[in-house]
Amino acid sequence: MSFLTLGIFWVGQQTQLNHLERANRNLAWIHLCFLFAVTLMPFSTALLGEHLELRTALVWYWANIFLLGASLYWSWRYATSAKLVDAELSFDVTSAICRRILIGQTLYALGALLCVVSTHLSIAFIVLVQLNYAVAPRFWRKREAAE
């Protein structure tokens, strides 16, 4: 589950980097914050793996996911406001990237809230969100190409 989590966020970061025309020191520090959140993933994963029944362990795991998403969102908002992105990039693309991060974070938060009912249900929901983000983009691209 954590490998998939990091893979999704890595792809998100690479998507952002592909749209950059240039970078600066501030953006580098924001990306270092993202990498810091990545370094926390083994801890939050081990905690969750050892204590599947504890809501606190799940909340720590979700907090790690939140830090990853928040730093990606912060990075993109900074890059667009500092005009570091490609000048020809459409508003639709910039807003779609923000929207995708916000929707993902909302779904992860919903998954974390499900731990009130059951930690297993919560984990299952988070895995479904991850599978959606890992598989759905390919599915929709194939579908659009066929039309």
Residue found under tokens 């490998």? 3
pLDDT digits (tens, 9 = 90+) for 72-84: 999 999 999 999 9
List of residues 6+ apart from 144 with CB closer than 8 A: none
**Helical H runs in 19-114?**
25-50, 55-81, 91-113
Domain total for the chain? 1
Domain that holds residue 54: 2-146
pLDDT digits (tens, 9 = 90+) for 12-54: 999 999 999 999 999 999 999 999 999 999 999 999 999 988 9
pTM across the whole model: 0.85
